[in-house]
Amino acid sequence: MKMLRDLSLLWHIVRQMGWGYVLFRAGYWLEGKTGLLRLRFPKRSTRRSFISLREWRDRNPAFLFDPHEVNVSRNAGLHELKWRVSQIRRRRFQYFSSQWFDVHDWHTNPLTGYRYNVNEHWSLVDDFSVTAGDIKYVWEKSRFTFLYDLIRYDYHFNEDQSAEAFTLISDWIAQNPVNRGPNWKCSQEIALRVLNWTFALHYFRGSHALNQSLLDQILCSIYDQIRHVAQNIRFSRTAVRNNHILTEAMGLFTTGLTFPFFPESPEWEKAGKELFEREIITQIAPDGTYLQFSMNYHRVVVQLLTWGIRLGEVHGDCLCETVYAQAKASLVFLRTCQDDSNGQLPHYGHCDGALFFPLSECEFRDFRPQMAALANVQGVDLGYQTGKWLEESHWLCGHRRPIAAQINPRCLSTFRDGGYHVIRNAGTITFLRCGSYKSRPFQADNNHLDIWINGRNILRDAGTWLYNADEESTRYFSGTRSHNTVTIGDFDQMQKDRRFIWTHWITSANGQCGRGNDECWIEAEFEGFRHVGKDIVHKRRVIKQVGRLHWVIEDWVANVPTGLQVRQRWHPDEHFSRDFCIRTFDEHGHEILPVVDSGWYSAFYGHKIQSNMLVFETSGNYFKTIIEKI
């Protein structure tokens, strides 16, 4: 029986991903099992002096900013920043923008207490171990995003933090020998760490704490890490093809430009630039939507675009015009989905808590710092006005450029490539996604509806929680039950298999939006549940009354197999029932009473709270739901 299931899974993977993907994964697995990866990535550190400290300082290579002329207004009133730095000094670190842990090494998972073997070759590290727990809790500290707090504190409070930063970097190098342990497992993590070290090294380039021996140690480690990325990049290019490969390409491009004395730097610069350009053109659709169908991963790409565009310009090695066009299209899409009052977007798609370059005091869910920075390098006005979100832009881009274009979100927007439909009216956002998949899906969430009112997300996406969790939790957060849509029985819209694998992809979906009289509407439908039955179609129509807090949602589900109930699910915020009324009727006009079920909500990676889920059930095939302000 297991063999039949495995053969069926293989057939689906070949059909959906292609033989090239399958053969590469099989070959890579074989390399790991036979020890070839251990031969290709030896446990050998570089020990040499690439450049003298004096020459390196005298060369003063161009970077995102000039450490002697940082264009940021100093603010000694940033008390939360001061507190965070005090915690770093005590070796307490923030994880995923929401949790704090006392962690004194680089290999312990603070949730489980599991400590990885420091000397085990990275190819032998199990990144989905039940005993070890979610490996992201080890990788998070080793990303070194906390360096930005030290840098900003150094700048705003005029207190030298270079010794603290270099002590932590030096300790990591000593405790993470080349190609050994969990922190060499993921090339994206390595590339991001190098980007963050590079930023810190340029900011602290004139520090008295930086001597020749320390510079040699850091440069040798950067060299070894980027050499690992370059030698393993085919894995991300073939097997992953998402924000991972973009980060790795930017690591190559950045290292090639900023450390030209490395022997392979010209090769890395050229390869990184070409790969980044090619992947941006592939991964971002012409309408600005992103292939991972995730707002937070799209923000990661926005940050990499800002870094890459700016760095290329200051070095006279600009990215191609299509990248600029895709970047602007991304801003149009994200700004359309963004709440004006707090800068947040729907919590849609996978969210692993990633925030690559935290250079402001804005909270994690506020996308304004990252979008403002990309808008700055593009000469685009997003209508944000002045606020604390501009600090990131000033660090990365310097003075504001002349405005060449202005992005004003429209009342009605359809992004056909990504399958997104948005109504903006009188402080509200009505957001629906219904799309087909040509690349790997991550969640089964078609026809999910998000509703926002002046910064309040009254109907919301449940979030992500953890990637390495128990099977039930993984299925809940990535499946259909955690979204504001319809299920047939307890089945997801696609069939969930192990880890991130879905089969029976949705390949037929369409939608549109429009306006008539005093209402705006969205209509969308898709064919799904193909593992449940044939020709099952879910059609949804959402009507928003103009100028009123009033919505009508109609759902039709065709060709439901006999004996299966159809369930309409809603995930309201905590105070929804106090302020809003929701009523649902069947095809005969009879009211359906809701069942209040127990669900989960994860606003931040690794953190979840219990929440109510409203479930309306029918043996028919139609729902009419009215939501209005009390």
User: Any idea where the domains of the chain sit in the sequence?
Assistant: 1-40, 284-409, 412-629
Note whether 314 and 62 are within 8 A (CB): yes
CA distance 192 to 165: 16
Both tokens assigned to 548: 């009123």
pLDDT band at 9 (very low <50, low <70, confident <90, very high): confident
pLDDT in tens, 436-448: 998 889 999 999 9
Q: Return the amino acid letter for 314.
A: V
CA distance 291 to 288: 10
20 pLDDT exceeds 90?
Answer: no
How high is the mean pLDDT of the chain? 95
What is the pLDDT, as a whole number, of residue 498?
A: 76
Q: Which of 554, 284, 547 is nearest to 415 (CA)?
A: 284
CA distance 88 to 105: 13
Q: How far is CA 97 from CA 350, 356, 362, 364, in A?
A: 16, 11, 11, 6
Q: Kindly report the pTM of this predicted structure.
A: 0.96
CA distance 625 to 37: 56
Tell me if residue 456 falls in helix, strand or coil: strand
Both tokens assigned to 41: 């990535």
* DSSP per residue, 339-381: -TTT------S------S---SS--TT--HHHHHHHHHHHTEE
Tell me if residue 608 falls in helix, strand or coil: strand
pLDDT band at 285 (very low <50, low <70, confident <90, very high): very high
Identify the residue with better confidence: 62 or 17: 62
Q: Which of 303, 347, 626, 316 is nearest to 464 (CA)?
A: 347
What is the pLDDT, as a whole number, of residue 1?
A: 59
Architecture of domain 412-629: Distorted Sandwich (2.70)
16 pLDDT exceeds 90?
Answer: no
Q: Which of 455, 467, 474 is nearest to 573 (CA)?
A: 455
> First-to-last CA distance in the chain?
54
What is the pLDDT, as a whole number, of residue 2?
A: 65
pLDDT in tens, 390-414: 999 999 987 666 777 889 999 999 9
Residue with tokens 């963050």: 196
**Mean local confidence (pLDDT), 466-479:** 93
β 550-558/448-453 pair status:
unpaired
Neighbours of 607 (CB within 10 A): 17
